[in-house]
Structure formats: structure tokens, C-alpha cells
Amino acid sequence: MDVLHERCAGLDISKKDAKVCVRTPSARRRGTFTTETTTWGATTNAVLELRDHLLAAQVTPVVMEATSDYWKPFHHLLAEDLNVILVNARQAKNLPGRKTDVSDAAWLAQLGAHGLLKASFVPPQPVRELRDLTRARTVATRERSRVVQRLEKLLEDTGIKLSAVAADIMGVSGRAMLEALIAGERDPQVLAELAKRKLRNKIPALTEALTGRFREHHAFLTRLHLDQYDQLTAVIEQLTGRIEEAMAPFRDALDLLDTVPGINQAIAEVIVAETGGDMSRFPTAKHLASWAGVRPGHHQSAGRTKNSKVRPGNPYLKGALGLAAMGAARTKDSYLAARYKRLTARRGVMKALVAVEHSIITAIWHMLTDTRPYHELGGAYFTQRDPERTARRAITQLNQLGYSVTLNPIEAAA
């Protein structure tokens, strides 16, 4: 196998240190190579010393695995002066029976020397900072949802079924009822009268649902949950304001993404933050879909197709696409909703959602590449694409119901 890089280094990184293997040509025999493995600390000063060591060794690529977040200080400091290749651990898996930190570093150096590794996408610093903000908001939003779930479980312990009547127990009406319960009000009729707007039509049901055994113990825990909910809401608002400022350079991309059914501003911000808004890093839409984890795998052996599940991909981007797909599936008279309904009957809900996610990310790649808005094909796209097939299917269904059907084209009838 040809050697593309005569001088290469491999780093196996942990929390406290890193094993560094430097692979260089041997001075004794031509065509052979020697390896030297050393241990370096993970502090900033130690990484800077490692940078000087690698520069002195004149290594061209420096290969490291994307291990948790431990790779970040090494990558950010070494990439300033060296060609650093960050690789997915799945692509650089070592041979069975040889799993040690030292052998992993040597294995990375050997793979890098032969050019067998593909560099992972590491966005520039402004995009990395934007990612930190959107990911922090996603985590805070999920935690706030968990707080609501814990509050619902607490109310179940009291026998109060507020969530069975009110869709949002943290809305204006639900919040007023919870505050009254904490203040000591126990009369279900008085609590039900706190309902606002459309919820007032359900006052009899609310009266039944608010009858329970709410004690001082429950009031204490409910107060804690409400305070935690308010704190997380304040955090989300602060992050949202900061994200809007950081999104100023990507305003054009946000406007384009806003034209896609199912994508709101928050989802568009996550998509831009995770992809960087630059589609030139992905050669085709298929590369982007595979990186996002919404493209089925391809595993074929002996003429048989085996497991074809989607890859894990980018969890934050994949989560945002999942929300967009569920929103698009409920959009009336849209291509994505028609695609979802068409696939649900044959493949099930989950596979239909993944297919819609794939359609969305494919459209995003073309939109950001060509700088053009989303083109809606319409809910009747599949019907118009093959009208004869649609007609045959409708006739078959009517025949199964016991009807005899004769078709007359509109032009002939006129």
C-alpha cells in the first residue's frame, strides 16, 4: 500500500493526557519507518509543548479521534500551525486484541500515513460558538419539558387530573390554578373559575379534575417545580436573544429555511448552527443526509441486504429535523404531508418520518447551494405524477366495496 505521508503523528486522547505516536522514515533501511510514542499532558502549556515537538518532527498530518470533548483543546491549539485531521472513532477502530492507548496512537499514525482516514467536519470558531448557544438552548428546553413532566407526576399523586382537561398546565389558566393550590385554596369550584378564554367551556370537567388530596407537602414540591420552570424560561430567553445577535451574518439562510413547511425560526437556527450554513463542505445532498443521520445505511453481503438502519449522525441536527418533519406532516396541501401519508400506510410512522426528514435535508442542501427558496410541489404531486395508477387504485377500492365503475374523461363528456 502506498505511503502518502512519510511523516505522520497519531494522538490517542484522554481526559488527563494523550499518547502521541510519531511515525517517521527509518535512517537505517530505506522504505521502513520507525515509531516513537510519548505521553503529553492535556493542559494548555503541555499542548503547546507538544505542538513544538510535532513541528520539530516535521509531521504533515496529525490524526486524532473525536473522543468526547477531550479533543477540543488539542485540535484548537495544534490546528493553528499543523494539518490536524479529526476522525470519527468508528472509522479508525483498532484491531481486536490490540486495544491499548499506545497501540491506538500507532494505529492512527499508520492509517494517516496511508491516507485511509476522512477528516470530520470542524466548523470555524464563530459557528462553533453559535453551536454552543443553540445546543445550550436545546438542553434547557428539554430540561424544562422534564420539569413539566415531573409536575404532572406530582399532581397524579394528589389525584388532580388537570393535564387531562387542560392541554398545557403551564398556560395562563393552569398556572393560576397551581398558584391558588399552593396558596391554600382547595375548593374545586373556585379553582375551576380561574379558567380563561376557551378553557371556561370546560369548567364542569375542571371541577371534577381539580378534586383531589393536595396537601402542604405537594404545595412545597409544586413551588419548587414552578420556580425551576421560571428559571429555565429565563435562561432560554437569554440564549434566544444571544442567538439572534450571533445569527446576523446568516440572516439570508434563515429567510430561505423559513420557507420550508415545518421549519420555524428556532429549528432554522439549529440547522444553520450545525451545518454552518455552507453547503460547499458537503459534495452532494446525499453526503449531508448521511452526515445528519437521516439516510438509511447500506449493508450488503452475499447478495443479501442486511441491517439498513440510519446512522446516529448529528443528534442536534437530527432532533431539529424530527421536529420539522412532524410539523410538515401536519401541513395541509403540501408535498411533505402527502409523502408522509403515502409512506405511513406501507412502512409505518417512524420510517415515514425519517423519509420526510431526508426530503427536508435534501431540499435544504439545494436551497442553500443555489440560494433559492423552497419550491412547493403541492399535496396532489403523487396523484398528478401518475394519474392512471391513481385511477386504477380508486377503481379497485370501489370494486372491493361492490361497485361497478365506468370512467368517462371530462373532455369526452363535454
Domain annotation covers residue 345:
yes
pLDDT at 80: 87
CATH classification at residue 140: 1.10.287
Write the CA distances from 32 to 6, 38, 57, 200, integer angstroms: 10, 20, 17, 83
Q: Do 185 and 233 belong to one domain?
A: yes
Q: Do 181 and 203 belong to one domain?
A: yes
Domain annotation covers residue 81:
yes
Q: Do 285 and 188 belong to one domain?
A: no
Q: Do 137 and 240 belong to one domain?
A: yes
| pLDDT at position 58 over 70 | yes
Higher pLDDT pick, 411 / 48: 48
Average pLDDT of the residues in 305-318:
80
Domain annotation covers residue 377:
no
Q: Do 165 and 242 belong to one domain?
A: yes
List phi, psi (to 5°) of 243. -65, -40
Q: Do 364 and 274 belong to one domain?
A: yes
Domain annotation covers residue 210:
yes
Q: Do 213 and 133 belong to one domain?
A: yes
Alpha-carbon distance of 137 to 130, in angstroms, equals 11
Query: What's the CA dihedral at 339, 269, 278, 10 to 10 degrees?
Result: -100
Query: Mean pLDDT highest for which of 25-29, 87-91, 281-285?
Result: 281-285
Q: Do 208 and 269 belong to one domain?
A: no
| Grid coordinates of 40 | 503529553
| pLDDT at position 110 over 50 | yes
Domain annotation covers residue 319:
yes
The pLDDT-based confidence of 413 (bands split at 50, 70, 90) is very low
pLDDT in tens, 380-404: 888 888 888 888 888 888 888 888 8
Question: Among the three residues 86, 113, 140, which one is the final residue of a domain in this structure?
Answer: 113
Q: Do 133 and 222 belong to one domain?
A: yes
Q: Do 263 and 242 belong to one domain?
A: no
CA pseudo-torsion sign 23, 26, 30, 32: negative
Domain annotation covers residue 43:
yes
Q: Do 360 and 282 belong to one domain?
A: yes
pLDDT in tens, 258-278: 999 999 999 999 999 999 888
Number of structural domains, the chain?
4
Domain that holds residue 397: 385-414
CATH classification at residue 108: 3.30.420.10
| pLDDT at position 341 over 80 | yes
pLDDT at 412: 47
The pLDDT-based confidence of 307 (bands split at 50, 70, 90) is low
Question: Among the three residues 113, 148, 179, which one is the final residue of a domain in this structure?
Answer: 113
Domain annotation covers residue 380:
no
Q: Which residue has the cell 370501489?
A: 398
Average pLDDT of the residues in 187-205:
92
Contact 86, 75 (CB under 8 A): yes
Domain annotation covers residue 118:
no
Question: Among the three residues 68, 85, 113, which one is the final residue of a domain in this structure?
Answer: 113
| pLDDT at position 95 over 70 | no
Contact 122, 75 (CB under 8 A): yes
Q: Strand locations in 165-205, DSSP E?
A: none
Q: Do 90 and 131 belong to one domain?
A: no
